[in-house]
Chains A and B, each alone.
Chain A
Amino acid sequence: MDKLTDLTLHEARRLLDAGEIRSVELTEAFLNRIRAVEPRLHAFLTPTPEMAMEQARAADEQLRKGPAENPMLGLPIALKDILSTEGTRTTCGSKFLENYIPPWDGTVVAKLRKGGAVFLGKTNTDEFAMGSSTENSAYGPTRNPWDLNRVPGGSSGGSAAAVAADECLAALGTDTGGSVRQPAAFCGVVGLKPTYGRVSRYGLVAFASSLDQIGPLSKDVRDAALFLEAIAGHDRNDSTTAPRPVPSYTAALHESRGVEGLRIGVPGEWFGGGVSPEVAEVVQAAIARLEGMGASIREIHLPVSEHAIPIYYLIAPAEASANLARYDGVRFGLRAGGADDIWELFARSREAGFGAEVKRRIMLGTYALSAGYQDAYYKKAQSARTLIKQSFDRAFEEVDLIVGPTTPSTAFRLGEHANDPLAMYLEDIYTIPVNLAGLPAISLPCGFAQGLPVGLQMIAPAWEEERLLGAAYRYEQATDWHTRAASAVPT
């Protein structure tokens, strides 16, 4: 057997159930790995080794009685530090919440805790998930395990780097405009954004409520299916979750028809001027591979998708400006001193607690919602959002799946976009349309450009996660990109 930290969720599951390894030794291996690589990567904001060992011992206790009833029992994972965890500080990458210790678990965290998962710690994120590089974290950036001078992507960059560097079996991230898929692409791992409403957002600290969705980052597609199965489902505490049964996504990997005979659409617009030639070449090769496996490939058009960035950067900041109004220095979080009245207290606390990108988006959203401008910006963007959704609906009348690049380029250098917010926003041009339409999508490794991983994005109609995962799994089985180890951390 390889090193314990090389295992996937499903391999570790099998070994734990067979009694060949114990959760305690698995957890210790990951805690050692975290200690070894964290000085270089900074994927974690708050490691939780004591809790992890306690949960591992409890899991071993249960496993002594027989194989696990819950698929996550005894499996060491990491959580993006924007998921509310009872008794463990939840900073959202913000100075505002530096000392905030939630008195409650969000629904997904509670499911995992109850199921006996082992929590290794909370991972780094752009402040309130606003960013594409983790450079907007108030606690310093995470570095890419393939090249320490490059970003891991964001906002779930800590989770993606932790999975890529074998610091955990898998991790949770959140995806509002690409924040699971883009870091997965940059770090050479699998990232899944479920259909909006598939996974409860209760306890996910809100950024843009109509777009946010929790999703897993993992070493392979089967792990993504297994993890999704553990977190999906209706929740009475989130009225936007659908009252639909959760199918067995792991069973669907084999039962779904896979790639054979699948009609795959490739948006012509996504191979225009925006994408780098190296990424285009690698993704075209992956599409040719899919064709070789029996898919029929056709070019499709998503004409409005080129407007997705301005639509998103009006809608998401508008929702953020409302959601972040709660940070006022009164009930929790940072409070600035020296205020004479409550208005000063609000304005000074928010000024002191938020970083530049969060302020920029609050300002943008406030403007887009303000009297006299709401129709021209916010309402216009909402109508344009309808057009995006309609263009996907039309495309899915002709094809079963849409495939293209996850990102226009491979991981960029730290600081490369520091003074140009718009350039940073353009990094999410292929992922944002999917959030606006609420669709499920996955990014999986499909090759390398100059030594850096490239992500292949697959998009399915709403609620077709089984088709999505089935096709992704067959592609993964036919290739070995997902097995490559990150090159800038010790093996």
Chain B
Amino acid sequence: MSLTLKQVEEIAELARLDLSRGEKERFRDQLSAILDYAERLQQLDTSDVPPTAQVTGLVGVMREDVITASFTQDEALANAPQDQDGFFVVPTVLEES
């Protein structure tokens, strides 16, 4: 399994990582090697084997929906890189039409 630079760029776009040129090349080679290694899984016959997503055996865990103490607005904003008037500040999200 050999990834192309273009594929690496597409994955980085999905992962929201602004990779440098050097990183892209390095990851192309390293990820290709790791995926090559993962190819050995194809030797396993899993055609009738159900997938395991978790091992607890617990299903549909419910609890009482009760109100408990929560953070104050100040606590919630205490680690924000930028805030104003009780809000998180971010750059433009919507483009002007």
A interface vs B, CB < 8 Å? 99-101, 103-104, 196-197, 210, 236, 239-240, 242, 304, 307, 309-311, 313-314, 321, 325, 328-335, 339-348, 350-351, 354, 356, 359-360, 362-364, 366-367, 370, 377, 379-387, 389, 421-422, 425, 437-438, 462
Docked Cα-Cα span, A456 to B17, in Å, equals 40
Q: Given A363-B17, A363-B27, does the pair A307, B51 have CB atoms closer than 8 Å?
A: no
Instruction: Determine if B11 and A346 form an interchain contact, defined as CB atoms under 8 angstroms apart.
Output: no
Instruction: Determine if B31 and A341 form an interchain contact, defined as CB atoms under 8 angstroms apart.
Output: no
Chain B: minimal CB distance from A355 (Å):
11
Instruction: Determine if A339 and B91 form an interchain contact, defined as CB atoms under 8 angstroms apart.
Output: yes
Docked Cα-Cα span, A311 to B20, in Å, equals 29
Which residue of the partner chain B has the closest CB to A327?
A: B16
Which residue of the partner chain A has the closest CB to B12?
A: A363
Picked from B11, B63, B80, the residue with its CB within 8 Å of the CB of A366 is B11
Which residue of the partner chain A has the closest CB to B26?
A: A356
B42 interface contact, C-beta 8 A:
yes
Instruction: Determine if B92 and A377 form an interchain contact, defined as CB atoms under 8 angstroms apart.
Output: no
Instruction: Determine if B17 and A345 form an interchain contact, defined as CB atoms under 8 angstroms apart.
Output: no
A350 CB contacts on chain B under 8 angstroms: 15-18
Picked from A309, A333, A342, A462, the residue with its CB within 8 Å of the CB of B37 is A309
Docked Cα-Cα span, A313 to B33, in Å, equals 12
Docked Cα-Cα span, A382 to B41, in Å, equals 11
B44 interface contact, C-beta 8 A:
yes
B85 interface contact, C-beta 8 A:
no
Picked from A348, A351, A362, A385, the residue with its CB within 8 Å of the CB of B51 is A385
Instruction: Determine if A101 and B78 form an interchain contact, defined as CB atoms under 8 angstroms apart.
Output: yes
Instruction: Determine if B11 and A310 form an interchain contact, defined as CB atoms under 8 angstroms apart.
Output: no
Q: How large is the interface on B (under 10, 10 to 19, 20 to 34, 35 or more residues)?
A: 35 or more
Chain B: minimal CB distance from A343 (Å):
7
Q: Given A196-B55, A351-B18, A382-B53, does the pair A421, B11 have CB atoms closer than 8 Å?
A: no
Closest A-B pairs by Cβ, 4 of them = A382-B51, A438-B55, A335-B81, A332-B79
Picked from B33, B35, B61, the residue with its CB within 8 Å of the CB of A239 is B61
Instruction: Determine if B44 and A330 form an interchain contact, defined as CB atoms under 8 angstroms apart.
Output: no
A307 CB contacts on chain B under 8 angstroms: 40-41, 44
Chain A: minimal CB distance from B29 (Å):
11
Count of CB-CB pairs between chains A and B under 8 Å: 164
Q: Given A370-B11, A383-B50, A387-B46, does the pair A100, B92 have CB atoms closer than 8 Å?
A: no
Instruction: Determine if A384 and B71 form an interchain contact, defined as CB atoms under 8 angstroms apart.
Output: no
Instruction: Determine if A362 and B44 form an interchain contact, defined as CB atoms under 8 angstroms apart.
Output: no
Picked from B18, B50, B76, B92, the residue with its CB within 8 Å of the CB of A340 is B92
Interface residues of B in 18-51 (CB under 8 A from A): 18-20, 23, 27, 30-31, 33-35, 37-38, 40-42, 44, 46, 49-51
B82 interface contact, C-beta 8 A:
yes
| Pairs across A and B, CB under 8 Å, 22 listed | A103-B75, A103-B76, A104-B71, A210-B54, A240-B58, A242-B58, A310-B40, A313-B34, A313-B38, A330-B80, A330-B90, A332-B79, A341-B91, A350-B15, A351-B17, A356-B23, A362-B15, A362-B17, A364-B31, A367-B35, A382-B51, A389-B55
Docked Cα-Cα span, A263 to B58, in Å, equals 29
Write out, one digit per residue, whether chain B residues 55-97 have a CB within 8 A of any chain A CB (1) or not (0).
1101001010000000100011011111000001011110000
Say whether chain B's binding surface is mostly helix, strand, loop, or mixed.
loop
Instruction: Determine if A333 and B55 form an interchain contact, defined as CB atoms under 8 angstroms apart.
Output: no
Instruction: Determine if B50 and A329 form an interchain contact, defined as CB atoms under 8 angstroms apart.
Output: no
Q: Given A239-B58, A329-B81, A350-B18, does the pair A421, B30 have CB atoms closer than 8 Å?
A: yes
Docked Cα-Cα span, A334 to B82, in Å, equals 11
Interface centre among B52, B78, B80 (most CB of A within 10 A): B52
Picked from A104, A240, A342, A425, the residue with its CB within 8 Å of the CB of B54 is A240
Docked Cα-Cα span, A339 to B81, in Å, equals 14
Docked Cα-Cα span, A93 to B75, in Å, equals 23
Docked Cα-Cα span, A14 to B82, in Å, equals 50
Instruction: Determine if B92 and A342 form an interchain contact, defined as CB atoms under 8 angstroms apart.
Output: yes
Docked Cα-Cα span, A329 to B20, in Å, equals 19
Docked Cα-Cα span, A462 to B56, in Å, equals 10
B76 CB contacts on chain A under 8 angstroms: 103, 331
Docked Cα-Cα span, A381 to B34, in Å, equals 14
Q: Given A196-B55, A351-B18, A367-B31, does the pair A386, B88 have CB atoms closer than 8 Å?
A: no
Instruction: Determine if A340 and B49 form an interchain contact, defined as CB atoms under 8 angstroms apart.
Output: no
Q: Given A366-B11, A387-B46, A422-B34, does the pair A342, B27 have CB atoms closer than 8 Å?
A: no
A380 CB contacts on chain B under 8 angstroms: 41-42, 44, 46
Instruction: Determine if B15 and A363 form an interchain contact, defined as CB atoms under 8 angstroms apart.
Output: yes
Docked Cα-Cα span, A151 to B33, in Å, equals 25
Interface centre among A331, A339, A342 (most CB of B within 10 A): A331
